Amino acid sequence: MPLPRYMRADLESRVADLANVSPNRWGGMLTAGLFLEEFVAEGVQWVHIDVAGPAFNTGGPFGYVGKGGTGVPVRTMLAVIEDVAEHG
């Protein structure tokens, strides 16, 4: 995923060294990536896996899906991990 430099300004804070949220809902995974990048040593390969943004429920809760970020990819990642653990 890209890490747009112009979005880095959204992490500026009046009360902290760095904010961990931005005032904008859209592009949250990009903002989160920029935030995390601040804590990764230069030359270290890393990845940010966004597990809430890909599925956002603006309606009421139903089944196991609550209102807001659903974290749907978590179930997929767990299934992959279980498959790898079982089958190698």
pTM of the model: 0.62
pLDDT digits (tens, 9 = 90+) for 68-88: 877 777 888 899 999 999 998
CB 54 within 8 A of CB 75: no
Q: Which amino acid is at 65?
A: V
pLDDT digits (tens, 9 = 90+) for 16-69: 999 988 888 777 888 889 999 999 999 999 988 877 555 778 888 888 777 887
Distance CA 20, CA 32 (A): 7
Could you tell me the residue ranges of all domains in the chain? 1-49, 51-88
Rounded to a whole number of angstroms, the distance between the first and last alpha carbons of the chain is: 28
